[in-house]
Structure 1
């Protein structure tokens, strides 16, 4: 079976002239003429990116999904190929209803009619890994049921093994292979798609995003019904929304489209900088709009996360960019570890200026947020660093949000929308708000430690009398020893008073808020 699949892949590779991508860059270049004679019938006049896209579509859904992920690695692959792969659409025929019934009944060890009061035979959506049906729970609650494709894990395992083999060949035979790191890209794809194979993990992602936006002011996230969730089945609240791509219908409903575009930007930056947890697959198919103008998020298989350091340096880079402070952009790159610590700051500042100055000749609303970040990442690579995957996912998602926002409102100024948010966030991280927030978080620890302070101080003073330092103190004059002990006591008292004052401030702040 695997041999037949390999033969199919090789046939598609030669049909679309993908051998040209390898033979044009290696010592095997003489073979290119041989292949052109053998495959004289093929049409290879299209661009390399288009031929690669068509080949992936011909190979099936797993390769399409791989191409979609590859399109996000603009820090590794040429931009013309990335732009073409971004056109890949995950159009997959649904699998039979009989398979759906079998998977559900095996997961719950009950008949489908017992698990659900009513279940739609026709799926509402179908993708490469799973499909979604509408149903009703026994209590009558309307839900959406996501079911994994039967045998999809085995299919993915086989195709990933072949992809890894192809990546090894590219790495070995192509002069570009070592720079493109194809095996690392396949490994990253493996990690993402394995996460999509466990619907309990997706349910957990959905639940966390819902908690983060519990106020439901801008974003609605479906509720997860945990009693009906299994590894191959996920049951969630059915959402009633209009696909965000249907702009004319949204206008008919009286939805404020410019506000909708601004809200999308705010939701994204809230996820990134407030929560450090963001939906990393925000293409139009995964976004709907409620009839009151709020966003609805769907499909939580691919999520990104950022730690405090990533968030801080991203915000600092963007704000420095707003202010044309290229020196601070360079310093932030070094301090964050995006470039080596021994990088020459002056050289890095010059490189950043070369990227940013041409951009500022344009109106801000014409500047691409995502492509600016991409340019900074590519510049970082020139200085010896491969950007971390979570930042690449962020850049890809930012491009999606930016494209979506400007499709809704061509006059959307992402910089103007984002700058107040970033400035407020930075003030919360390094200003007095951050100090109070951190002290509030430490209050439970202080409540445990403070009652122990007198005993700890007494133990420390007793131990100090037996230490080598005490011998030196004994050698001092009586007055000097008295001064030393008084200084210690004063330091302890000051520490206790300062701690009490801090606690009082925090309590006052908590009362006011």
Structure 2
């Protein structure tokens, strides 16, 4: 461990101890050396004994800076792993980071694009428009057509900071894995590894560019959702250039109302575009918190959402989509038996569980929820309750479902903030029913045939040759099976003869032992026959 890393490690320890995070591990689970060290460092004891564990963890993350803040934000979405008290506190973490020098940003952009900024852009503003833990954004104009753009640039040296902190986090996670009583549930080593992969992906802005291009293509011409254009000629792993958008932050409800926005339609469209991304495209923006969502100033009576920061996306397989849609519809209809069966069919819970017990657990937890008016029921929290129940039945955590749950909670929270009377169930159910009709029945069959027809038209000329080759292969395999059967029969006969001779040899060996020493001649003859029989038996078995 280098000196800089050692200093950072000591600072982390000081912060952890000052906020009493060591108290989360019972003293009896610590080795005697750790207990002795804890008693000796009296000046680093818990300075906030009046706060609950969740608040202390949140404050420790804020003190330690951007990497720990992002870790806390990620953990806040893992309500399948954390107690509600801690998850709710971590959800309050705000990624507010002081900007770095605009001159450094200029140098980073010029280094990445191999050209002076003045040759590439006009009106480059060294004062950043926004700043976050990993990157910050500057405004400019394209040189050729004067279009307004924003330039997202990675913080200089942030890779070294992240690498050092991640290695220290991995060390701490291994300690927690060993000594924390609920380590089997929290799986700290796996969580940190998942976080490491996510964070390293965010450091490469080319991933974000590719995601944004795909999302823009999926909603091209849509009146409901817009993604800004990406200018790939100016993009690099450290620099992302995209169209500048002008909109109202979705968190600024007063400004939206002042602009005359149809709040009910806006909230309803938020739900619809989410389900469209999930079930139509199988590719959804998985970081749709209020800081990444805006509303266009234009046509407020026909409001359009604007999405940015596409570094994190989720994908679903065809099977996942089908089971999710059926699960949601079963929930709407309060068909808990079907929900339980779907979890077993999808492999999300072990196949040997008792479906009746799972159904009863679902009914016990969810039935009181449905006694409320639908407009008061949180769709996201119903999903959380489902995950908690399924965890009791050894449900394996599905990463794509965690991203889905996180995004759904964001969307539902934004929708109810914009229009408190929003009935998410009433909005989502018709969409899912239409989608299911498209997937099942004659229309779905015709759609599949239409999609597969070009492939079959291409393969049709090859079909006679494929049939002929298949028949030849089948005939050849039949002959091989006959030869194998004949060889097996011969081997079986040889094996039987070998065992017969071995048995004869054993019998004469016993006879020679009984005859010796009363009749030496007969004993010697029996022994000779024994040796001959064993030789014949050994040769027969050796041929196998």
Judging changes above 3 Å, is the alpha-carbon distance between structure 1 residues 25 and 254 closer, same or farther for their aligned structure 2 residues?
farther
Gaps of 5+ in 2: 480-544
CA drift of 1:390 comes to: 1.2
Q: Which residue is 2:70 aligned to?
A: 65
Judging changes above 3 Å, is the alpha-carbon distance between structure 1 residues 173 and 448 closer, same or farther for their aligned structure 2 residues?
same
Residue 17 (structure 1) aligned with residue 20 (structure 2): yes
Q: 1:218 aligns with which of 224, 231, 241?
A: 224
> Which deviations, in whole Å up to 9, do the C-alpha atoms of 1:251-290 show, x marking residues without a partner?
1111101111001000111111111111111111100000
Q: Which residue is 1:354 aligned to?
A: 364
Q: Which residue is 2:289 aligned to?
A: 283
CA drift of 1:77 comes to: 1.1
Separation in structure 2 between the aligned mates of residue 234 and residue 17 of structure 1, nearest angstrom: 41
Separation in structure 2 between the aligned mates of residue 352 and residue 395 of structure 1, nearest angstrom: 18
CA drift of 1:38 comes to: 4.9
Q: Which residue is 1:156 aligned to?
A: 162
Q: Which residue is 2:496 aligned to?
A: none
Separation in structure 2 between the aligned mates of residue 38 and residue 151 of structure 1, nearest angstrom: 33
Separation in structure 1 between the aligned mates of residue 98 and residue 470 of structure 2, nearest angstrom: 73
Separation in structure 1 between the aligned mates of residue 464 and residue 92 of structure 2, nearest angstrom: 68
Residue 270 (structure 1) aligned with residue 272 (structure 2): no
Residue 78 (structure 1) aligned with residue 83 (structure 2): yes
Separation in structure 2 between the aligned mates of residue 463 and residue 187 of structure 1, nearest angstrom: 48
Counting only pairs closer than 5 Å after superposition, residues 78-117 of structure 1 correspond to structure 2 as 78-117=83-122
Separation in structure 2 between the aligned mates of residue 233 and residue 113 of structure 1, nearest angstrom: 16
Separation in structure 2 between the aligned mates of residue 58 and residue 461 of structure 1, nearest angstrom: 72
Q: Which residue is 1:363 aligned to?
A: 373
> Which deviations, in whole Å up to 9, do the C-alpha atoms of 1:70-117 show, x marking residues without a partner?
111111111110000000000000111111111111111111111212
Separation in structure 2 between the aligned mates of residue 297 and residue 362 of structure 1, nearest angstrom: 33
CA drift of 1:183 comes to: 0.8
Gaps of 5+ in 1: 470-513
Contact 2:138–2:151 (CA<8 Å) still a contact in 1? yes
> Which deviations, in whole Å up to 9, do the C-alpha atoms of 1:401-421 show, x marking residues without a partner?
111110111110000000000
Give the secondary-structure state (helix, strand or coil) at the position aligned to 1:134. Answer: strand
Counting only pairs closer than 5 Å after superposition, residues 235-250 of structure 1 correspond to structure 2 as 235-250=241-256
CA drift of 1:468 comes to: 6.5
Residue 143 (structure 1) aligned with residue 153 (structure 2): no
Separation in structure 1 between the aligned mates of residue 105 and residue 388 of structure 2, nearest angstrom: 45
Contact 2:129–2:137 (CA<8 Å) still a contact in 1? yes
Which runs of at least 4 in structure 1 moved beyond 3 Å after TM superposition? Answer: 27-41, 452-469
Separation in structure 1 between the aligned mates of residue 158 and residue 74 of structure 2, nearest angstrom: 18
Q: Which residue is 1:413 aligned to?
A: 423
Residue 312 (structure 1) aligned with residue 319 (structure 2): no
Separation in structure 1 between the aligned mates of residue 451 and residue 46 of structure 2, nearest angstrom: 69
Separation in structure 2 between the aligned mates of residue 197 and residue 420 of structure 1, nearest angstrom: 39
TM-score, structure 2 as length reference:
0.83
Q: 1:452 aligns with which of 462, 467, 479?
A: 462
Counting only pairs closer than 5 Å after superposition, residues 469-508 of structure 1 correspond to structure 2 as none
TM-score, structure 1 as length reference:
0.88
> Which deviations, in whole Å up to 9, do the C-alpha atoms of 1:340-369 show, x marking residues without a partner?
112211111111111221111111111111
Give the secondary-structure state (helix, strand or coil) at the position aligned to 2:395. Answer: coil
Q: 1:234 aligns with which of 206, 231, 240?
A: 240
Q: 1:42 aligns with which of 47, 50, 54?
A: 47
Separation in structure 2 between the aligned mates of residue 40 and residue 7 of structure 1, nearest angstrom: 14
CA drift of 1:216 comes to: 2.3
Give the secondary-structure state (helix, strand or coil) at the position aligned to 1:70. Answer: helix
Q: 1:336 aligns with which of 324, 335, 346?
A: 346
Q: Which residue is 2:201 aligned to?
A: 195
CA drift of 1:431 comes to: 2.1
Judging changes above 3 Å, is the alpha-carbon distance between structure 1 residues 169 and 114 closer, same or farther for their aligned structure 2 residues?
same
Q: Which residue is 1:484 aligned to?
A: none
> Which deviations, in whole Å up to 9, do the C-alpha atoms of 1:29-57 show, x marking residues without a partner?
99499379554672221111001100000
RMSD: 2.1
Separation in structure 2 between the aligned mates of residue 467 and residue 390 of structure 1, nearest angstrom: 43
Counting only pairs closer than 5 Å after superposition, residues 397-408 of structure 1 correspond to structure 2 as 397-408=407-418
Q: Which residue is 1:259 aligned to?
A: 265
How many aligned positions are there?
A: 469
Separation in structure 1 between the aligned mates of residue 389 and residue 54 of structure 2, nearest angstrom: 23
Q: 1:167 aligns with which of 164, 173, 176?
A: 173
Judging changes above 3 Å, is the alpha-carbon distance between structure 1 residues 25 and 240 closer, same or farther for their aligned structure 2 residues?
farther
> Which deviations, in whole Å up to 9, do the C-alpha atoms of 1:111-151 show, x marking residues without a partner?
11112122011111100000001100112111011000001
